[in-house]
Amino acid sequence: MSHDTDNRATEQNRVDLVIHEINKKEEKIYSKSAGLKDSVIELRKSFWEDVTVNLDEPDDVIETQASIKQQAELLSERERFHGKLGEELKTLKRLKDSPYFGRIDFIEDPGEEEDHIYIGISSLMDNDDENFLVYDWRAPISSLYYDYSPGRAAFETIEGSVTGEISLKRQFIIRQGVIKGMFDTGVTIGDHLLQQVLGNNASTTMKSIVATIQKEQNKIIRNERSDLLVVQGAAGSGKTSAALQRIAYLMYRYREELNAANVVLFSPNPLFTSYISNVLPELGEANVRQTTFLNFLERGIGDKLAIESPFHQMEYVLTEGNNAEYETRMKSIDYKSSLKFKELIDEYISYLHGQGIRFKNITFRKQILISKEKIKDYFYGLDESIAIPNKMELVSMWLLKELRHYQRDEVDKDWVMEQVELMDKEDFLKAYYKSQDIDDENDVVVEEEILRKVVVNRYFSSIKKRVKQLQFVHVLATYQKLFTEWDPQESPEDWESISTLTASDLSQWSLTWEDATPYLYFKDRLLGNHADRSVRHLLIDEAQDYSAFQYAYIKHIFPYTRLTLLGDINQAIYTYATKENPLVPAGDQLKHERITLTKSYRSTKQIVEFTKYFAPGEELIEPFNREGSKPRLLKLNKKEDLVEVLKANVENLQSIGYETIAIVCKTLKESEIIFNLLQGKVSVKKVNEETYTFEKGLLVLPVYLAKGIEFDAVIIPDASKEQYDLQSDRTLFYTACTRAMHELVMITESEPCSFIEDCPKETYEGSLV
């Protein structure tokens, strides 16, 4: 037997042994859980039998309550334990298929003894719970596997640094308990394994990368020091992957203090949210709160106002150049994305201390009970030194007191009796019992009085609820006044035209994307916001697309939260956001840790070599060494050939075995035209901002919805100079091209865009079709 075969047989024996242990553990859990399940069912069935119910005397009621509580606690404790066993079983099942992916032989200084450390997605102890058969990839010692090649190495523990020597570093591919591949690695974590993983077809859901995390990525994943961690990474360098494994790491490291509700991930669009939704469960962790920034704002603003989505704004920017308002809107977007606008709002808030806040009448049955003027007078009668939100609370208390008087007056009115007659039998019964408790000769009168109060109370309760929610403040009208009546000390450039445009949008109860964050900030300053202390970690993917104002708002609402920003300035398609963005080193005033990822794993070497020529940023971009064919530029003979060329290329790509092929357009408008051309000729799906799941097949979508996602092959149906001309189109074109893993095809009817023209001719293949 050769040395290799010998090694492999020994390793397979160990895998068999570990699986044997897993089987034994599984059996133990099954028998525990079967008994437990029966006891939970039994407890549920006999719940009321074991509870002493006696409601005769107040003391008995208390005793009954305690008895129910005790029984419920017992049940929930058993259910919790049963759930925990279920989780353990799931982990064991995952381990049974592939117990580990790595091995490190480590001799800790100064000793002689060599430890064999096997690393998998979760830890596993031997039968006596004494030795680790498998170490969790997040354990301190496992970082050796990611950070070092054989030779001197160290890892950090709570007690300090541990140094030693790595004598072996081995990788495994184990499926269904059988070793399919085994590599002893030298310099980096096996190119072998990475080659294999990256050579696969794109998937409709993202996969975990724990077996092949790279050193630089590991720094992001395990970073515990920084309050603000900024990651600039080339397209496909693993930012999203690092973000997700970082969450899994934090959940493991701070298991006792952190749960899924304490971690939030902002993602670029709903499609992306579904694309990444499998990674954490695959790693045995619950999904954390994932939301888009739009959804997050919507929750704060409420549903009375229509909020434009960032995609709609993008589509406007790209397609409405001929619109009469275009120039003004662009200036408005630019200004409202900046911190200057935040300062202007602050100045306006100071002004509102003395005057100007708009209030709403409080009405009841179409009658004004308390007029807005009266509310205003009360508000501005309060001491000016009190902060606005605190004054709002005082107004709310005063209004509730006033409402109680009105409520009392209302009880004897005729309409109330009409409503009483419409009440349920149950209401009458309740009123009857209540009347029995009252010592009065005339039960009927008492009963009517009770019923009248119930009616009025029901009517008033929704008014009182609105008052408690401070809905008597007309936030929108007050915000609108900023643009219509108020004179800032120093008017921003083009203020008049920006103001007119904004006021007109607001009068239709609609907020443009550029107004959404400022409006919510304004609302918070007026009504008071409660900083969200529950969120301990916020991770923002595609961080280059957030404006300075949006960042300021995020800091305002999450002052105690650790931030991880991951983005790529090369993909900053919302141009206004680039200014003052923390990803741009020069624009950043904050103290933070910054990690740059330069290696691109997604695309073949040929695609990366081509796209890096027109990447807008200065950062280095290196390809991972995976070979493929050169990007192709197809020049159409005539425009009418487009459909046939698209069809032929799609069929060709499908025949090679590619399953996800995307026709990536510049705009939604273009993608709708292409979709209509292809419909009926090939099987094709269109993706818009309401698409929530990502399926295999041929997709047509605008580039801004393809953010963060990847496909086996990308076709750009119009790569002409007319389509991608401006410098601002560069990021769009770069983002579109870098979605491709294996193949990139660009089509043009006329002269290709300058971004292609600027690339050395040997980086792509051109042909006339």
Ligand X SMILES: Nc1ncnc2c1ncn2[C@@H]1O[C@H](COP(=O)(O)OP(=O)(O)OP(=O)(O)O)[C@@H](O)[C@H]1O
**DSSP conformation class of 59:** H
CB-based burial label for 280 (10 Å; 0-12, 13-18, 19+):
buried
Residues 550-589 that bind ligand X (CB under 6 A): 568
- Residue 307 or residue 736: which is nearer to ligand X going by CB? 736
Least Å distance between CB 674 and ligand X? 23
Which member of 25, 170, 239, 246 binds ligand X (CB under 6 A)?
239
Which member of 525, 537, 602, 686 binds ligand X (CB under 6 A)?
602
Which part of the chain contacts ligand X (CB under 6 A), choosing from 11-19, 35-43, 204-212, 609-617?
A: 204-212
Residues 6+ apart with CB under 8 A from 332: 498, 501, 502, 512, 514
667 belongs to the binding site for ligand X (CB under 6 A): no
Q: Are 666 and 318 in contact (CB under 8 A)?
A: yes
Helix/strand/coil for 48:
coil
Count of positions on this chain that bind ligand X (CB under 6 A): 23
- Residue 194 or residue 535: which is nearer to ligand X going by CB? 194
Q: At 308, phi and psi to the nearest 5?
A: -70, 145
Whether residue 233 is annotated as binding a ligand: the answer is: yes
Which member of 102, 120, 236, 582 binds ligand X (CB under 6 A)?
236
Which part of the chain contacts ligand X (CB under 6 A), choosing from 96-104, 122-130, 208-216, 694-702?
A: 208-216
Which member of 738, 748, 749, 759 binds ligand X (CB under 6 A)?
738
Question: Mask 152-191, x = binds ligand X (CB under 6 A)?
Answer: ----------------------------------------
- Cα distances from 625 to residues 649, 735, 744, in angstroms, run 26, 21, 17
Whether residue 46 is annotated as binding a ligand: the answer is: no
Least Å distance between CB 755 and ligand X? 17
Q: Is the dihedral of CA 525, 530, 531, 537 positive or negative?
A: negative
Question: Alpha helix locations (H) across 576-693?
Answer: 605-611, 642-656, 668-678
Whether residue 561 is annotated as binding a ligand: the answer is: no
What distance in Å separates the CA atoms of residue 96 and residue 89, rounded to the nearest whole number? Answer: 10
Whether residue 240 is annotated as binding a ligand: the answer is: yes
Least Å distance between CB 604 and ligand X? 12
Which member of 213, 221, 263, 279 binds ligand X (CB under 6 A)?
213
119 belongs to the binding site for ligand X (CB under 6 A): no
What distance in Å separates the CA atoms of residue 359 and residue 356, rounded to the nearest whole number? Answer: 10
Whether residue 324 is annotated as binding a ligand: the answer is: no
Which member of 179, 197, 400, 454 binds ligand X (CB under 6 A)?
197
Helix/strand/coil percent split, the chain, to 5: 50, 20, 35
> Residue 543 CB: number of other CB atoms within 10 A?
26
- The token pair at 12 is 């397979």
Q: Are 369 and 404 in contact (CB under 8 A)?
A: no
Least Å distance between CB 622 and ligand X? 13
Least Å distance between CB 567 and ligand X? 8
Q: Are 149 and 191 in contact (CB under 8 A)?
A: no
Which member of 142, 241, 517, 649 binds ligand X (CB under 6 A)?
241
713 belongs to the binding site for ligand X (CB under 6 A): no
Apex CA 596: angle with CA 593 and CA 599, to 5°? 155
Q: At 117, phi and psi to the nearest 5?
A: -110, 115
Question: Mask 396-435, x = binds ligand X (CB under 6 A)?
Answer: ----------------------------------------
Which member of 99, 233, 270, 752 binds ligand X (CB under 6 A)?
233
Residues 428-487 that bind ligand X (CB under 6 A): none
Looking at residue 440, its amino acid is D
Whether residue 139 is annotated as binding a ligand: the answer is: no
What distance in Å separates the CA atoms of residue 273 and residue 708, rounded to the nearest whole number? Answer: 10
Helix/strand/coil for 402:
helix
Question: Mask 70-99, x = binds ligand X (CB under 6 A)?
Answer: ------------------------------
Residue 542 region by backbone torsions, left for phi larger than 0, else alpha for psi between -120 and 50, else beta: left
Least Å distance between CB 540 and ligand X? 12
For 219-266, give the secondary structure using H, E and C: HHHCCCCCCEEEEEECCCCCHHHHHHHHHHHHHHHCCCCCCHHHEEEE
Q: Give the DSSP H/E element, type plus range, for residue 744.
A: strand 740-748
* Residue of 483, 479, 419 whose CA lies nearest to 453: 419
What distance in Å separates the CA atoms of residue 395 and residue 375, rounded to the nearest whole number? Answer: 7
Least Å distance between CB 101 and ligand X? 11
Which part of the chain contacts ligand X (CB under 6 A), choosing from 93-101, 192-200, 284-292, 324-332?
A: 192-200
- Residue 447 or residue 710: which is nearer to ligand X going by CB? 710
- Residue 285 or residue 712: which is nearer to ligand X going by CB? 712
Q: Residue 396: beta bridge partners?
A: none
- Residue 162 or residue 197: which is nearer to ligand X going by CB? 197
Which member of 142, 185, 212, 564 binds ligand X (CB under 6 A)?
212
708 belongs to the binding site for ligand X (CB under 6 A): yes
215 belongs to the binding site for ligand X (CB under 6 A): no
Least Å distance between CB 102 and ligand X? 13
Whether residue 587 is annotated as binding a ligand: the answer is: no
In the chain, DSSP finds a helix count (H) and a strand count (E) of 26, 26
- Residue 164 or residue 617: which is nearer to ligand X going by CB? 617
- Residue 200 or residue 350: which is nearer to ligand X going by CB? 200
What distance in Å separates the CA atoms of residue 146 and residue 236, rounded to the nearest whole number? Answer: 19
Least Å distance between CB 737 and ligand X? 10
207 belongs to the binding site for ligand X (CB under 6 A): yes
- Residue 26 or residue 593: which is nearer to ligand X going by CB? 593
238 belongs to the binding site for ligand X (CB under 6 A): yes
> Residue 596 CB: number of other CB atoms within 10 A?
14
Q: Is the dihedral of CA 374, 375, 378, 379 positive or negative?
A: negative
What distance in Å separates the CA atoms of residue 62 and residue 550, rounded to the nearest whole number? Answer: 52
269 belongs to the binding site for ligand X (CB under 6 A): no
Least Å distance between CB 202 and ligand X? 7
Whether residue 260 is annotated as binding a ligand: the answer is: no
- Residue 288 or residue 431: which is nearer to ligand X going by CB? 288
What distance in Å separates the CA atoms of residue 184 and residue 168, rounded to the nearest whole number? Answer: 7
- The token pair at 207 is 């996969």
Q: Are 174 and 101 in contact (CB under 8 A)?
A: yes
237 belongs to the binding site for ligand X (CB under 6 A): yes
User: Which residue reads 């298991």 in tokens?
Assistant: 255
Which part of the chain contacts ligand X (CB under 6 A), choosing from 50-58, 235-243, 451-459, 605-613?
A: 235-243
Residue number, nearest CB to ligand X: 238
**Known binding-site residue numbers:** 233-240
Query: Which residues contribute to the site for ligand X (CB under 6 A)?
Result: 194, 197-198, 207, 209, 212-214, 217, 233, 235-241, 568, 601-602, 708, 710, 738
**Known binding-site residue numbers for ATP:** 233-240
